[in-house]
Amino acid sequence: MIPVTKAFLPPKEEYEKYLDGIWKNSWLTNYGPLVTELEKKLQEFAAVEHLAFCTNGTIAIQIALKALEITGEVITTPFSYVATTNSILWENCKPVFVDIREDDFCIDATKIEEKITEKTQAILAVHVYGFPCDVEAIEKIAKKHNLKVIYDAAHAFGVNYKNKSLLSYGDVSTCSFHATKLFHTVEGGAIVSNKVNAEKVKLYQTFGHSEDDYFCIGINGKNSEFHAAMGLCNLNWVGKIIEKRKEISNKYVELLKFGNTLSQPKSVLNFEYNYAYFPVIFNSKEKMLLVKEALRLNGINTRRYFYPSLNKLPFIPYQPCPLSENISSRVLALPLYYDLQEKDINKISALINSNL
């Protein structure tokens, strides 16, 4: 089976060096030296002032909402992984969906203002597949209406826009370092607090207290030395990982027969991409399902990433987002990972082309 994604693992001896230190000092969690070191190196990598390494990308969004004191309506995108919407609901806020752009599938900033009400408190946008949102337009709208901006940057690690990390935009940006991501810590995430008190974020992820002093409510959003060790190893490989994913993506572009039946999302912005995913769009749901099944029968796993459109989740009231609903029914993410072999890329491409 060719998986749709595969976690990168560094040379085992690199990880074992960190394990020796963990065994020596017996410090497993609660902001050990490796977590502290990883946070510092990630801050340097992204050139941001405050970054908190946390349990996962979902808790990162929840803490961001809590730290920004969001309790009302949150304008967000229907084209994302369910964690984006679930985080809003979990914090007892109301998601208000705004449809997506046709080119890159990010939230359509031109449609945001018409959804703003007196209950709107924040915009939670997603850099879909690592493509930047229209951050300038969103910032302008937020300032005009006194709204907070959170970016779900789960796909955007290593992406630079206008010579800055994409993580540096918004009041808060959140990351996922799940094993499926190009940079991972097995499980993990990060909160980049650009315009919110970093100490407040730390308190929320450590039960709301420091030593014997209690300040606020909180949860356990910490991460372990073992996860930090994987992150420290993998951070040294990020450049090579992105370069390899770029090579694979370019090979797909070379081989696949793009045209009326098959296309790709594209961004009109000028930015430094991380090649987080390789999504393709078919001209119909039926064609997508036919190709998906043909690939499955040949031992190739793909994913309908993202499906369904989140405005159609069965546990929330329906809000129409026709473009997102249409795109989500026709999109397919192809296998993309560090050691995907050229022969497998050839096989995948040939099978798709023969079924178009």
Instruction: Please state the rounded mean pLDDT for residues 14-20.
Output: 97
pLDDT tens string 267-299: 989 999 999 999 999 999 999 999 999 999 999
Closest by Cα among 347, 254, 257 to 299: 347
E strand or H helix at 18, and its extent? helix 12-25
pLDDT at position 154 = 97
Kind of pairing between the strands at 331-333 and 279-282: antiparallel
Confidence of residue 197 (pLDDT cuts 50, 70, 90): confident
Which value, to the nearest 10 degrees, does the dihedral of the CA atoms of residues 1, 235, 254, 6 take?
10
State the Cα–Cα distance between residues 152 and 173, nearest whole angstrom: 6
Cross-sheet strand order for the sheet of 262-263: 262-263, 279-282, 331-333
Beta carbons of 232 and 10 less than 8 angstroms apart: no
Question: Which amino acid would we find at residue 156?
Answer: A
What percent of the chain is predicted at pLDDT more than 70?
Answer: 100
Instruction: Please state the rounded mean pLDDT for residues 14-40.
Output: 97
Beta carbons of 209 and 215 less than 8 angstroms apart: yes
DSSP sequence for 196-226: S-HHHHHHHTBTTEETTEE-S---B----HH
State the Cα–Cα distance between residues 308 and 80, nearest whole angstrom: 9
Whether 250 has a pLDDT exceeding 90, the answer reads yes
For the chain, give the number of residues: 356
pLDDT at position 300 = 98
pLDDT tens string 213-228: 899 999 999 999 999 9
Whether 195 has a pLDDT exceeding 90, the answer reads no
Whether 59 has a pLDDT exceeding 90, the answer reads yes
Confidence of residue 194 (pLDDT cuts 50, 70, 90): confident
Question: Which amino acid would we find at residue 155?
Answer: H
| Integer-rounded Cα radius of gyration of the chain | 20
Kind of pairing between the strands at 271-272 and 160-161: antiparallel
Q: Distances in Å between the alpha carbon of 147 and those of 59, 113, 166?
A: 21, 11, 19
Beta carbons of 233 and 4 less than 8 angstroms apart: no
Place of tokens 């094993």: 179
Confidence of residue 115 (pLDDT cuts 50, 70, 90): very high
State the Cα–Cα distance between residues 245 and 337, nearest whole angstrom: 6
pLDDT at position 196 = 78
What percent of the chain is predicted at pLDDT more than 90?
Answer: 96
pLDDT at position 61 = 98
Place of tokens 């949150």: 74
Kindly give, in sequence order, each residue whose CB lies less than 8 Å from that of residue 140, ignoring residues fewer than 6 positions away.
none
Instruction: Please state the rounded mean pLDDT for residues 175-191.
Output: 98
Kindly give, in sequence order, each residue whose CB lies less than 8 Å from that of residue 31, ignoring residues fewer than 6 positions away.
222
Kind of pairing between the strands at 213-214 and 94-97: unpaired
Closest by Cα among 132, 140, 127 to 84: 127
Phi/psi-derived region of residue 92, left when phi > 0, alpha when psi is between -120 and 50, beta in every other case: left
